[in-house]
Chain A
């Protein structure tokens, strides 16, 4: 099964990315995690995201575009990056989520991707 691992980072972590003192440690953690993921062969996709301040949210209301600066929800942790992994079950996915550097200070959300079997059971099939 494929799972999306969402690394939800704190403002502090986002700030560390460009911090001259703590940046090295921050990036070393992610480098090791990425290396472990690609080494194990479970990763099928990944991406790192710029901080939430760079986000822009769009809604269409009454035919009008409503554009606003920032993420759609103002939460303490914000999406900082994602990984798609292919593993046998949720326990295996949770193992990888627990290893994610964001788990220590922020949070890591694990979501299953819809399967062909699921699509087939719905109107999409």
Chain B
């Protein structure tokens, strides 16, 4: 059984997919064709490496095989018509000497996938597929759409890149900050938004975020995003009890947090030196995780950081998280006014925070708890909320307010 060869192919796939794909697609902007050719190269590696042994330079082998497929396809297409520039570009690309000489075009690829001309909802899926080689079915389930629908969206996006001529380039200095924001936002969306990490793409998002900090080491917000994701990922194991029940952040056992990830997060937070929303997010997570050392949470600092964050990104998520922090900092009545000013009738966290504030101010939370439960997707979270709300009504029976 050629298990070693198969493992070598799998390792090469994981380590080199994005690098090789970026290289193949850079000249033609034809992501779909490059993906097909690269997939075929991996397939022929699975077939031939068990017989011939793993080549000295697997990446170079795969690149050569994929490029041959692309040239054959182009030649086949072009014979009947005319000699075309894409064929010429492919033929004149220098053969790489060693894997390290394959120029890294993954940054260009990231900027292409998160280009503003690509529909916002497909930017993260496109990145996951192109840069990490995730298959459409996996991506589809993470984003809660059918594999067929996700497949169509990805195909449409790749067609747009090719036909609309979306450049394979790192934007110039005047455009870079704005365009980098799209890249970082797409990575953040892959991680899963705000309160629940239902996307299940934590490791993949971390890989993308790490990649951006490696490729753009001077960009503060890239470090900020990575630091925020790492701090969140450090708590991954503490979010569920052994029996699968949901554990909210302020009840988590800090011994289950991952110190190595928190330390890595702090290193990147230190390199996020310019003001920006991801640096603030990282700072918020950092204050939360300091509980592992101090034993308590500094809610006043967190609330102040959220004040900053909503000034940068006035999203509903940020506003509700800010309200929650102020509630924890001890101002539930003021927070109710804050929530009244928001227009978020179907945003579940809004109703959870409102219910908590009503409960803390001695008002009847039952209207808010009912809506909160009705809007909750995650069964473990719903079970947790049911328990919490039930405890309140028992408490209220013991000590009726007023």
Contact = CB atoms under 8 A, between A and B. Distances in A.
Nearest to A91: B167
26 contacts: A1-B165, A3-B165, A88-B165, A89-B165, A89-B166, A89-B167, A89-B169, A90-B117, A90-B166, A90-B167, A91-B166, A91-B169, A91-B171, A92-B167, A112-B163, A112-B164, A116-B82, A117-B85, A118-B163, A120-B78, A120-B80, A120-B81, A120-B82, A120-B84, A125-B80, A125-B81
B77 interface: yes
Contacts of B163: 112, 118
A117 B86 contact: yes
A121 interface: yes
A3 B165 CA distance: 10
B247 to A, nearest CB: 46
- A interface secondary structure, majority: helix
Contacts of B164: 90, 112
Given A90-B117, A120-B77, A112 B82 contact: no
A116 B115 CA distance: 25
Contacts of A89: 165-167, 169
Interface residues on B, range: 10 to 19
Contacts of A120: 77-78, 80-82, 84
A9 B81 CA distance: 40
Nearest to B86: A117
Given A91-B167, A116-B82, A120-B81, 5 more contacts: A89-B165, A90-B165, A91-B171, A120-B77, A125-B81
A88 B167 CA distance: 8
B160 to A, nearest CB: 9
Contacts of B80: 120, 125
Contacts of B167: 88-92
Interface string B112-154: 0001010000000000000000000000000000000000000
A91 B80 CA distance: 32
Interface string B69-84: 0000000011011101
B84 A117 contact: yes
Nearest to B111: A91
